[in-house]
Every structure is written in structure tokens, then in C-alpha cells.
Amino acid sequence: MQYPDATTNQQIKRMQQLVQESARVAVLTGAGISAESGIPTFRDAQTGYWSRFRPEDLATEEAFRRDPETVWRWYAERRAAVHAAAPNAGHIALSRWEARVPSFTLITQNVDGLHARAGSKNLIEIHGNILRVRCFARCVSYSRRDEIEVITSAADTVPRCPECGDYLRPDVVWFGENLPEAGIARAFTAAEQADLFLCVGTSAVVYPAAMVPQTALESGATVVEINPEETPLSTLVHLSLRGTAADLLPQVLGLD
């Protein structure tokens, strides 16, 4: 059922009621939830030098093979922005919600690590994490964070794997690469078992992540969206709240 005539206030009240009633909650977030932490969204991010590239063309193995320095520099600039950013009221509201319900799963497409810094525990980073690097030839698993600091701060060229000498690369899922199997399986299970499924700050165009809310809908969950703009989900969900994560999440969770 839709609430086409409800004003945002009525929708917020309806969402507050859903929050009260729901014991099994799953949330999918996208780049929009980090916008108010000063990290441009994935589709808006390409400014200045990077405006000549589409992110989908840089975030690929082919791009890295063709021009590792350019791709590495793009990630180094994004990593610096992440280091300078802090979780916002939206990230914090989700971590406080988790502490109040029996079952809470946070599925994020974001690679910025801000949900973990906000205190979220049951967190699935289905597209990896920009603060980790790994060997391009997969000879070692992720390097430890302090090693990363050394590697990324010292290297203005693409650093090499200490084990095999191949390039190191960001530990993120590039377009055309499979998502971590265990992570995406957990995400779909959470969607199937949720009473309430919330989508925050995602354009819902990247797959297979965009299939997770659809699975929640098909499994009988009440599905809600928070986004300042319409998305392909907006006409499918039970409630589509127009607004920003940092503004609406504290309100709907009674934390403002």
C-alpha cells in the first residue's frame, strides 16, 4: 500500500510506528548516506580532473590494468576524503537503532567505512572497503591497516605487493567483479527474514545490490525508502520519504 497523499509529517509518524513494531530490521545504504559527511555521492563525485571519467569506467579491473597510476590516484584522493570525513547523524542513528532491536542487519554499498566508525556492528560491506588494499594477484589477503597507512601515504606510484611484487589494489568490488559470496548471501537472507526493510541514499541502479530490496518486498517485508529524489524503487515501496538521511533518520527513529 502506498501513502501518496500523506505529507512528510504523516509519513514520518507512520515510519515511527513501523520502527516501534519491527523486531527484525534490515537496512541497505548507498552513497547518499555519506553525502552529509562531505563525501560526494558515487554519481556526483566526478568533479575537477575526474569529471572527464565516468566512475563506472574507472572502477574496473580493465581500467586498472590499462592505467594503474590513474586508477590508484583516484582511489588515493577518495581515501583522503574518507579520512577527513566523520560519520553524520544518519550513520549514528542507524547504529543506535541496532542497539534497540533483537535483529538488525546493515548492508552497505559504500566503501568509506563510516558505518563501522559510527558503531554499527552487524555490518555487511558488500562492495568492500577503500581503506583496505590487497594484492592484485590475490596472493595475500588484506594488508593490516597500519601497513596500508605506510603503503598508501608513501606511494605516489602504485605500491607493490610485499609478497609477490604484483600491484596492490583497493580492496573494493569493481564493476564486472563478483561480490563477496558470503556477504551477499547474508544480505539476501536478511532481506528475506526482515519485518521492516529500509533503503537509504541509494539510486538502486547497481546490481545485484539493487535486487536486495526487491527480495525484501517479495518476502513480505514492509519496505521504506529515504531519498531526496525519486528512484526506481519509489513506486514499488510501501513508503517513500523525500528527504536526507541526516535529517530524516534521527526523526523516524525518535532520536532527534
Cell of 109: 554499498
Measured between alpha carbons, how far is 27 from 213 in angstroms, rounded to an integer?
A: 9
Catalytic: 127?
yes
Q: Are 232 and 30 in contact (CB under 8 A)?
A: no
47 is a contact residue toward ligand BV8 (CB under 6 A)? no
228 is a contact residue toward ligand BV8 (CB under 6 A)? yes
Measured between alpha carbons, how far is 150 from 60 in angstroms, rounded to an integer?
A: 25
178 is a contact residue toward ligand BV8 (CB under 6 A)? yes
Q: Closest by alpha carbon to 67, among 189, 134, 142, 158?
A: 158
87 is a contact residue toward ligand BV8 (CB under 6 A)? no
Residue number, 103 or 142, with CB nearest to ligand BV8: 142
CB of 251 to ligand BV8, least distance (A): 13
Q: Which stretch binds ligand BV8 (CB under 6 A): 20-28, 63-71, 166-174, 188-196?
A: 166-174
Q: DSSP per residue over 117-180, as a string?
A: HTT--SEEETTEEEEEEEETT--S-PPPHHHHHHHHHH-SS--B-TTT-SBEEEEEPPBTSPPP
Over the window 96 to 135, marking each residue x when it contacts ligand BV8 by CB under 6 A and - when it does not, the resulting string is -------------xxx---------------x--------
Measured between alpha carbons, how far is 103 from 101 in angstroms, rounded to an integer?
A: 6
146 is a contact residue toward ligand BV8 (CB under 6 A)? no
Residue number, 24 or 186, with CB nearest to ligand BV8: 186
Give residue number: closest CB to ligand BV8: 32
Cell of 36: 552529509
Residue number, 60 or 219, with CB nearest to ligand BV8: 60
| Total of residues contacting ligand BV8 (CB under 6 A) | 35
152 is a contact residue toward ligand BV8 (CB under 6 A)? no
Among 31, 133, 212, 233, binds ligand BV8 (CB under 6 A): 31
43 is a contact residue toward ligand BV8 (CB under 6 A)? yes
Cell of 252: 523516524
| Total Cβ atoms within 10 A of residue 68 | 16
Which of 83, 91, 115, 127 is catalytic? The answer is 127
CB of 23 to ligand BV8, least distance (A): 25
| Total Cβ atoms within 10 A of residue 217 | 16
| Catalytic (active-site) positions | 127
